[in-house]
Amino acid sequence: MRLRLDLSYDGTGFRGWAVQPGLRTVQGEIEAAIAMILRLPRSAQLTCAGRTDAGVHARGQVAHVDLDDVDPGHLERRLRRLLPDDIVLRSLTVAADGFDARFAALERRYAYRMFDGPPGPDPLTRTSVVRWPRRLDVEAMNAAGDRLVGEHDFASFCKKREGATTIRTLRQLSTVRDGDSLETTVRADAFCHSMVRSLMGLLVAVGERRYEPEWTDEVLAKATRDARVMVMPPHGLVLEEVVYPDDAGLAARAAESRRRRDE
């Protein structure tokens, strides 16, 4: 039986999503709890829609796990009692045929939040909002972001992995200001490692007026990491939503995504 888990978590106390020996991770905590509840001899592996880095949060993470002879309602209730306070299981359901949390996803949506006013952000948001010391030009940031929308090789914004493509379709990269608060929405079919935080580094460099928006074209064309583009702090980043097709389109979408990753 394949089960779908919808999750939210505060990434502050985790070394990211993926299991790492001796380190506290989101995946590790959930897998350990499932193994304890079901008395499994070894952990049942979770697959998630997007592996978040250390310090990155999620409001709309999705994962799946394959288990035998399980009462989903019982497991959901037990997990909610056993999981730590910084992980919330929003729902646990039997997945539709063809569902794959990673490959069936059509889109991931992230938000990156900053504050660039002199007093600093509300201290109660210090683990989810990045304080920036210089005023940012949102119009220039959006002009730069518009140049990145579309299908491109984002190798200049990613940490490359052996055998993995860095071609992605970016659907939105836009920033809005509300007083001293800035929120950037980033939407794409998928993201490679460190891509969102590197995109934010470029936007901030342009927003500080150190470079013109057209500089974006130069960085994108290099197809290698540019030292002038910083990787922004992780705690401003939240995985807000993962979008899937309707049940009838799940299997076809998963097959298409696997094929593209292998090309």
Q: Which residues are catalytic?
A: 53
Distance CA 231, CA 234 (A): 9
Identify the three-state secondary structure at position 6.
strand
What is the DSSP secondary-structure string of 35-75? HHHHT-SSPPPPEESS-PPTT-EEEEEEEEEE-SS--HHHH
Q: Give kind and range of the element (H or E) at residue 4.
A: strand 2-9
Token pair of 261 as six digits: 């990753």
The helix or strand, by DSSP H or E, that contains position 156, with its residue range, turns out to be none
Q: Return phi, psi of residue 243, to 5°.
A: -105, 135
**What HEC string does 102-130 produce?**
CCCCCEEEEEEEEECCCCCCCHHHCCCCE
Angle at 188 between CA 224 and CA 228, to 5 degrees: 30
